[in-house]
């Protein structure tokens, strides 16, 4: 994982483009510029690990370009549970729940990520309270969609085994 400056990004990370992704939807230009300027942008290549099971969950990542695979671990077993695409976040649940990572995120393709630390998340709340509310709603909506999709997988698996 390599850190890059906003000006060095190989992809369009303008507010207009990023608002097409669910996490940035409806955020102001100033708020998006703030997150990009204060966060850390990482370039990852296919196969790079973003984080590992058991790592401290004190940040999360938003996919600015590309996609990631997420592998959930439980009782020494690992399963691919989802693909994290442009405009989606990974690691938010661990940060909000104040626990270590419950899985591993790996670059599915060459990607650009925005790392949002817990400190930046807090500072964003203070600097942009209205946008923060939208940001939190967007993150929560994505989390709810993931819960629904995983619930569907559980039901499908149970039906197959009956």
**pLDDT tens digits for range 2-49:** 999 999 999 999 999 999 999 999 999 999 999 999 999 999 999 999
Say whether 111 sits in a helix, a strand or coil: strand
Confidence of residue 160 (pLDDT cuts 50, 70, 90): confident
Q: Structure pTM?
A: 0.94
Contact 104, 58 (CB under 8 A): no
* Cα angle 9-34-82, degrees, rounded to a multiple of 5: 65
What pLDDT sits at residue 162?
Answer: 76
pLDDT digits 0-9 by tens, 122-149: 999 999 999 999 999 999 999 999 999 8
User: Total structural domains in the chain?
Assistant: 1
- Cα(119)–Cα(151) distance, integer angstroms: 32
The domain of 114 spans 2-161
What pLDDT sits at residue 15?
Answer: 98
Give the CATH number of the domain where residue 122 resides: 2.60.120.10
H helices present in the chain, as ranges: 15-18, 29-38, 92-97, 118-127, 129-161
Contact 58, 98 (CB under 8 A): no
What pLDDT sits at residue 53?
Answer: 97
- Cα(161)–Cα(89) distance, integer angstroms: 32
pLDDT digits 0-9 by tens, 78-127: 999 999 999 999 999 999 999 999 999 999 999 999 999 999 999 999 99
């Amino acid at each position: 994982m390599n850190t890059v400056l906003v000006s060095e990004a190989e992809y369009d990370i303008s507010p207009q483009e990023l608002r097409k992704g669910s996490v940035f939807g409806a955020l102001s230009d100033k708020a998006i510029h703030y997150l990009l300027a204060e966060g850390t942008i990482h370039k990852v290549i296919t196969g790079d690990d973003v984080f590992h099971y058991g790592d401290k969950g004190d940040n999360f990542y938003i996919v600015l370009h590309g996609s990631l695979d997420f592998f959930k671990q439980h009782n020494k077993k690992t399963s691919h549970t989802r693909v994290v695409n442009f405009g989606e976040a990974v690691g938010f649940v661990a940060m909000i729940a104040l626990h270590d990572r419950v899985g591993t995120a790996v670059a599915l393709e060459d990607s650009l990520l925005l790392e949002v630390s817990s400190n930046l998340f807090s500072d964003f709340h203070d600097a942009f309270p209205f946008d923060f509310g939208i940001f939190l709603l967007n993150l929560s909506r994505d989390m709810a969609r993931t819960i629904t999709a995983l619930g569907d997988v559980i039901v499908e698996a149970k039906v197959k085994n009956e």
